[in-house]
Amino acid sequence: MVKCIIEGCKKERKSHSYSKWCSMHHTRRYRHGDTGPIESLMPPKNKNGEGSISKAGYRIFSINGQRIKEHRLVMENHIGRKLLPEENIHHKNGDRSDNRIENLEIWNTKQPAGQRVQDKVIYAKQILNLYGDQMTQDKLDKQEFLMKKLESILTFENIITKIKAYLELTTRQKQQHLKTLNKTEIKCLKNTIDKLPQLELLLDILIATHQQELNELHKLEEETSFNLIP
């Protein structure tokens, strides 16, 4: 066995070859005029199921010898089907390695064959049949996520609304309402009424802090209620 003359390189060259280098260093010198470093510049091959980041910035997995992009796997698992040839996955924040489902969206590159109005209507119906249900479900999932995140604020707001409604009752109505409560509930009600100004101020601060999310939740509620109308 004749080794490559590059110090530290353990690769061998064919004994009948005129080259003094292994095939890797010989190719580098032939193409670039320099043999380069000892080690290979190519990324190591992944074991089955292991991931790596490609030169383009995508996270790649090797499964049964096949290289698969993680963002496509994530989206396929989310929608419950294989992606179509005309479907691409877009990363909303521009980070191609951020494959959280909330950062991914489907882009469709298909275009209608013609430009007549009737062709476009047919194409629009095809798009709605393909994506309509999924879009509605995504909005419902987002709505549920925001409601859980903002649950404490919504509950807090509901309590203050009920306290204000109680204060607007007549004396007789208040007495009737107090009869339905036990001693602990009555004490809690009185404490809440005493601290109502501070609670309202705290609620205003919470709403201001999460105003964007609250607006998004209200918008989703309107959109999903509209889409669910038969």
Q: Is residue 226 part of a domain?
A: no
Q: Is residue 128 part of a domain?
A: no
Residue 100 and residue 73 share a domain = yes
| Structure-block tokens of residue 55 | 């030169």
| pLDDT single digits (tens) 108-133 | 877 766 677 667 677 777 777 777 66
Q: Is residue 15 part of a domain?
A: yes
Which is it for the CA torsion 54, 59, 62, 63, positive or negative? negative
Give the chain's domain count: 3
Residue 23 and residue 58 share a domain = no
Residue 103 and residue 71 share a domain = yes
Closest CA to 35 of 11, 68, 52, 54: 11
| pLDDT single digits (tens) 194-214 | 888 888 888 888 778 788 877
Q: Is residue 191 part of a domain?
A: yes
Q: Is residue 23 part of a domain?
A: yes
| pLDDT single digits (tens) 154-187 | 777 888 888 888 899 999 998 898 888 888 888 8
DSSP string covering 191-227: HHHHTHHHHHHHHHHHHHHTHHHHHHHHHHHHHHHHH
Residue 96 and residue 61 share a domain = yes
Task: Tell me the C-alpha to C-alpha distance, in Å, between residue 148 and each of 122, 133, 141, 200.
Answer: 39, 23, 11, 21
Residue 68 and residue 24 share a domain = no
CA 115, CA 111: separation in Å to the nearest integer?
10
Q: Is residue 124 part of a domain?
A: no
Q: Is residue 229 part of a domain?
A: no
Residue 26 and residue 61 share a domain = no
pTM of this prediction exceeds 0.85? no
CB 3 within 8 A of CB 33: no
Alpha carbon of residue 177 to chain centroid: 47
Q: Is residue 130 part of a domain?
A: no
Residue 55 and residue 27 share a domain = no
Other beta carbons within 10 Å of 24: 20
Residue 220, pLDDT score? 67
Domain enclosing residue 19, as ranges = 2-32
